[in-house]
């Protein structure tokens, strides 16, 4: 592992036993884990290439405990890494050797379901899917649906601003929240939002969402609920080229249609998925689109007909409309199994997550094929086509010396390519440690410093999840320094009135 993390604080490590004892006084019983063997499950998250044992694992059960743990760590200068279910694909929950790993799994209760106001108040350790399961008897659901939704938690979703296949139409996590309770690194408990829309002041909820656990620890979240659409149907469309598929996507959106989901797969991904789940995907195509529309029956039927016509006008070689709910789910089964399907044909795979302006897709795919040859590593692509979020899967074998390092270089090249064509480093997986050192490809030093100044407003000592998101750590005092040239700046030559 070539990743440079913040230098361990030897003074903290030297006090480890006293620190563990103090934490046990705050979180009694089995809530503090200090034995190496028992800490093993926490050494990595979904980005398993990186592993690190924490100094100690703490599993609080109440906001008061979280507050006391953070206040203690703040006073003692101890780093803290928050963790939900540990499904991050960017290493957001990677522990620090001199840090407390703060696991929020015990915050697993749904506190309130308020269907009149179409919301639920949940603890951060509740899984994404559990929210929907708790309200679906009444026909409601929670819209953001990251593919890890069985396991990933709402707290983690808030930290990462998680998306999913439906976010072009229904938004990401940030568009589906109303409020939260947040514990700052000092132990202060702050309530933001509530059951109403919009903040009364600065949109602190908006800035906490997607902050990757660097600003505070969320202990309660109020999420919006939506009524389930009456029905959904999907169309499976094959194309002889990714250009044709891209044109079809552009024309669907150009026709004023925002599908509930619109996914694209390239030839290697289609073949891997078909071999795995036998979804009936055509194997003689270069690109496959799954377009799903949801809503009342009349709307769905109307739009399916329009999408079919658009697909044919874009030279679709195959076009199948789901005739039953079973068939619709089968169309999705292949897409949803694309990652494990690729896992079957390769010992390991590395999942990337850039976003590009959709029109640049053919160019990006072509360049990726060239890179694939250069690096001697195969690649398969799945793509949230509606919003331009690309998930290239690089196939590699970690047991072959040097192959992981080559894979990481290839991945970095892909992300730089995304930025070059006007896109971004990450669409939904987060920066974490994975893309941290690529941040300067997208942001200037001034951009990054302003973001870090904001972090200082929440965490003056830089103790919360340091080493994530930002490639260079600066002390808050240094970031705050101003060079004001009192009386020495001439009034600029600007039109005056």
By the rule CB under 8 A, 454 interacts with another protein: yes
Whole-number Cα distances in Å, 367 to 152, 287, 398, 407, 421: 33, 16, 24, 16, 11
Q: What is the DSSP string of 226-292?
A: EEPPSEEEEEEEEESSHHHHHHHHHHHHHTT---SEEEEEEHHHHHHHHHHH-----SS-SEEEEEE
Among 29, 401, 402, 487, which residue sits at the site for another protein (rule: CB under 8 A)? Answer: 487
Q: Residue 428 corresponds to which tokens in the numbers above? A: 């939904």
Instruction: Give the distance from CA 218 to its chain's centroid.
Output: 16
The least distance separating another protein from the CB of residue 479, rounded to whole angstroms, comes to: 8
Binders in 69-88 for another protein, by CB under 8 A: none
Question: In 3D, which of 340, 400, 352, 342 has the Cα closest to residue 376?
Answer: 400
The DSSP letter of residue 7 is: P
Among 25, 75, 190, 309, which residue sits at the site for another protein (rule: CB under 8 A)? Answer: 190
Nearer to another protein, 268 or 427 (CB): 427
By the rule CB under 8 A, 184 interacts with another protein: yes
Nearer to another protein, 52 or 186 (CB): 186
Nearer to another protein, 297 or 366 (CB): 297
Q: Give strand pairing partners of 88.
A: none
Residues 6 or more apart in contact with residue 143 via CB below 8 angstroms = 166, 167, 170, 171, 176, 224, 226
Nearer to another protein, 33 or 119 (CB): 119
User: Which region, judged by CB under 8 A, interacts with another protein, from 23-31, 129-137, 351-359, 393-401?
Assistant: 351-359
By the rule CB under 8 A, 46 interacts with another protein: no
Task: Report the distance separating Cα 449 and Cα 2, nearest Å.
Answer: 24
Q: Tell me which H or E stretch contains 155.
A: helix 154-160
The least distance separating another protein from the CB of residue 446, rounded to whole angstroms, comes to: 5
Task: Report the distance separating Cα 279 and Cα 402, nearest Å.
Answer: 36
Binders in 286-315 for another protein, by CB under 8 A: 295-299, 301-303
The least distance separating another protein from the CB of residue 234, rounded to whole angstroms, comes to: 18
Binders in 110-169 for another protein, by CB under 8 A: 114-118, 139-140, 160-161, 163, 167-168
Task: Report the distance separating Cα 451 and Cα 438, nearest Å.
Answer: 15
By the rule CB under 8 A, 447 interacts with another protein: yes
Whole-number Cα distances in Å, 320 to 269, 304, 348: 19, 10, 33
By the rule CB under 8 A, 450 interacts with another protein: yes
By the rule CB under 8 A, 172 interacts with another protein: yes
User: Which region, judged by CB under 8 A, interacts with another protein, from 52-60, 185-193, 281-289, 311-319?
Assistant: 185-193
By the rule CB under 8 A, 412 interacts with another protein: no
By the rule CB under 8 A, 423 interacts with another protein: yes
Among 149, 174, 219, 381, which residue sits at the site for another protein (rule: CB under 8 A)? Answer: 174
Q: How many chain residues interact with another protein (CB under 8 A)?
A: 110
Nearer to another protein, 107 or 170 (CB): 170
Task: Report the distance separating Cα 454 and Cα 475, nearest Å.
Answer: 12
Binding mask 192-231 for another protein (x = CB under 8 A): x-xxxxxxxxxxxxxx-xxx---------------xxxx-
Nearer to another protein, 79 or 358 (CB): 358
By the rule CB under 8 A, 64 interacts with another protein: no
CB 380 within 8 A of CB 392: yes
In this structure, the strands spanning 56-58 and 99-103 are: parallel
User: Which region, judged by CB under 8 A, interacts with another protein, from 38-46, 50-58, 62-70, 447-455?
Assistant: 447-455
By the rule CB under 8 A, 59 interacts with another protein: no
Instruction: Give the distance from CA 198 to its chain's centroid.
Output: 23
Q: What are phi and psi of 415, to 5 degrees?
A: -70, -40
By the rule CB under 8 A, 435 interacts with another protein: yes
User: Which region, judged by CB under 8 A, interacts with another protein, from 40-48, 330-338, 399-407, 439-447?
Assistant: 439-447
By the rule CB under 8 A, 43 interacts with another protein: no
User: Which region, judged by CB under 8 A, interacts with another protein, from 53-61, 284-292, 368-376, 478-486?
Assistant: 478-486
Question: In 3D, which of 78, 42, 8, 95 has the Cα closest to residue 432?
Answer: 95
By the rule CB under 8 A, 442 interacts with another protein: yes
Helix orientation angle between 325-336 and 338-345, rounded to the nearest 10 degrees: 50
Nearer to another protein, 219 or 372 (CB): 219
Binding mask 359-388 for another protein (x = CB under 8 A): x------------------------x--xx
Q: Tell me which H or E stretch contains 375.
A: helix 361-375
Unique residue bearing structure tokens 């789901």: 322
């Amino acid at each position: 592992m070539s990743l440079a993390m913040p230098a361990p604080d030897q003074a903290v490590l030297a006090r480890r036993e006293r620190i563990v004892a103090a934490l046990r006084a705050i979180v009694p019983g089995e809530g503090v884990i200090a034995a190496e063997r028992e800490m093993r499950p926490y050494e990595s998250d979904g980005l398993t290439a990186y592993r690190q044992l924490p100094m100690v694992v703490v599993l609080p059960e109440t906001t008061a405990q979280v507050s006391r743990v953070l206040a203690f760590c703040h006073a003692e200068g101890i780093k803290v890494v928050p963790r939900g279910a540990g499904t991050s694909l960017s290493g957001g929950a990677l522990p620090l050797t001199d840090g407390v790993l703060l696991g929020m799994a015990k915050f697993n209760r749904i506190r309130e379901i308020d269907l009149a106001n179409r919301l639920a108040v949940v603890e951060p350790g509740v899984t994404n899917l559990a929210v929907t399961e708790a309200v679906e008897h009444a026909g409601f659901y929670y819209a953001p649906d990251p593919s890890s939704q069985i396991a990933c938690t709402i707290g983690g979703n808030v930290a990462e601003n998680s998306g999913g296949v439906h976010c072009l139409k229904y938004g990401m996590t940030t568009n589906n929240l109303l409020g939260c309770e947040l514990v700052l690194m000092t132990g202060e408990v702050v309530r933001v939002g509530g059951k109403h829309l919009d903040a009364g002041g600065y949109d602190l909820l908006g800035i906490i969402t997607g902050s990757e656990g660097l600003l505070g620890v969320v202990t309660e979240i109020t999420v919006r609920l939506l009524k389930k659409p009456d029905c959904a149907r999907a169309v499976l469309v094959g194309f002889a080229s990714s250009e044709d598929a891209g044109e079809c996507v552009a024309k669907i959106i150009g026709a004023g249609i925002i599908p509930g989901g619109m996914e694209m797969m390239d030839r290697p991904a289609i073949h891997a998925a078909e071999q795995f789940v036998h979804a009936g995907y055509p194997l003689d195509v270069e690109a496959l689109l799954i377009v799903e529309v949801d809503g009342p029956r009349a709307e769905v039927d109307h739009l399916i007909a329009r999408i079919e016509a658009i697909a044919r006008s874009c030279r679709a070689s195959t076009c199948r409309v789901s005739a039953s709910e079973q068939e619709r789910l089968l169309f999705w089964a292949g897409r949803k199994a694309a990652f494990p399907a690729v896992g079957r044909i390769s010992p390991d795979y590395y999942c990337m997550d850039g976003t590009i302006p959709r029109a640049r897709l053919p160019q990006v795919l072509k360049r990726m094929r060239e890179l694939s040859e250069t690096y001697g590593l195969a690649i398969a692509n799945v793509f949230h086509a509606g919003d331009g979020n690309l998930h290239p899967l690089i196939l590699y074998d970690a047991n072959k010396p040097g192959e992981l390092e080559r894979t990481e270089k290839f991945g970095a090249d892909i992300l730089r390519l995304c930025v070059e064509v006007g896109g971004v480093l990450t669409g939904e997986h987060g920066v974490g440690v994975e893309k941290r050192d690529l941040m300067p490809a997208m942001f200037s030093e001034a951009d990054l410093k302003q973001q870090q100044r904001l972090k200082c407003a929440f965490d003056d000592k830089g103790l919360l999840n340091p080493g994530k998101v930002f490639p260079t750590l600066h002390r808050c005092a240094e970031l705050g320094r101003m060079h004001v040239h009192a009386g020495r700046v001439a009034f600029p030559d600007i039109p005056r009135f």
